[in-house]
Amino acid sequence: MEPPMLPEGLRHKTTTEEEKIDGSMFKPQLWHYVEQKCPPGTIPIRRTTENDLLRAEKINRYGKKNQRPFYPPQTALIHSSLNENGHQHAITYVEGDKYYGAKAEINVWAPSIEMPNEFSLSQLWLLAGSFEGDLNSIEAGWQVSPDLYGDNNTRLFTYWTSDAYQATGCYNLLCSGFVQISDQIALGATISPLSGYGGRQFDIDILIWKDPRAGNWWMSFGQNCVLGYWPAALFTNLAEAATMVEWGGEVVNSEPGSRHTSTQMGSGHFPSEGFGRASYFSNLQIVDASNNLQPPGNLNTFSENAACYDVENGYNSEWGYYFYYGGPGYNDRCP
């Protein structure tokens, strides 16, 4: 299927301090360095190995989220329940309107993971519905997940669900759902190069938007690659629009020995350290009903425990709306 027109109003940073991982200057994934190409009419698919399946708790849960992820809280009761499943977040979000897509430039790092059943990710979410069973979610970004991939590489990923992560949906292409059309990018493949503390910074561009005609939700990677789409038929609440958009980081803290783990979020450093040290999202935009990209408006922030992982919003003419986020996990103030 040919992709629809990209939304109008794409905004990109003009600074030369960050490099784009979109194929124009760098090969965005490690498999590109062996000069492999897909035959015409095919797409690259990360191979599922026997070891991948053996790491799964249950075969029918392979490629699915095992714990209830985050939905922004409206009450203190929801706040307290989130910590019980081990998921922790440092996010920026908007709600209270209809959203037909979202975009961000996401700084990429290689956070360390203490326990193999934990992960660290940085992504954007498009959400509609509730956790009572009808939550629809579309997600994309980068993640480090030893349990899913068998290593600590930073990888491009997508996820979707139409029933609050119960039975539907999965990562990448591990179940039916996302329809890939690009032969240039492999979901689940290692991203390269990565940012270094005090060194060069690298970003990926991710845009998700709804086709105004067919209703499918499309995703582009970088400035040159339309990756594929989630068919409209997958969803109920997202059939019309998202009611909330989130950007930020998420980790799982398994609390071995009743202490917080040292699994990092983002760069593993707090937002206060700023550029080149803390991880960031920049050029946050949302897509409106006219298929135009707009500033996100009234941004909110949330983190369960700012002593472990935190988030700080900002705005300037060069980056538009942005935020720094992340942290080291275990430390003197996060025992």
pLDDT digits (tens, 9 = 90+) for 26-68: 567 777 777 677 888 899 888 888 888 878 777 767 777 765 5
Beta-carbon contacts of 65 under 8 Å, excluding residues fewer than 6 positions away, are: 159, 161, 165
Global confidence as pTM: 0.89
Is the Cβ–Cβ distance between 70 and 250 less than 8 Å?
A: yes
Q: Which of 139, 246, 304, 312 is catalytic?
A: 139
Distance CA(98)–CA(79), nearest Å, equals 24
- Give Cα separations from 18 to 21, 52, 114, 120, 140 (angstroms): 10, 34, 29, 22, 21
Q: Which of 18, 118, 246, 250 is catalytic?
A: 250
* Active-site residue, 250 included: yes
Q: pLDDT of the chain along its 335 residues, tens only?
A: 778 888 988 876 654 455 666 644 456 777 777 767 788 889 988 888 888 887 877 776 777 776 554 555 543 333 333 445 788 999 999 999 999 999 999 999 999 999 999 999 999 999 999 877 899 999 999 999 999 999 999 999 999 999 998 899 999 999 999 999 999 899 999 999 999 999 999 999 999 999 999 999 999 998 879 999 999 999 999 999 999 999 999 999 999 989 999 999 999 999 999 999 999 999 999 999 999 999 998 999 999 999 999 999 999 999 999 999 999 999 999 99
* Active-site residue, 139 included: yes
- Give Cα separations from 171 to 115, 129, 256, 335 (angstroms): 20, 20, 26, 32
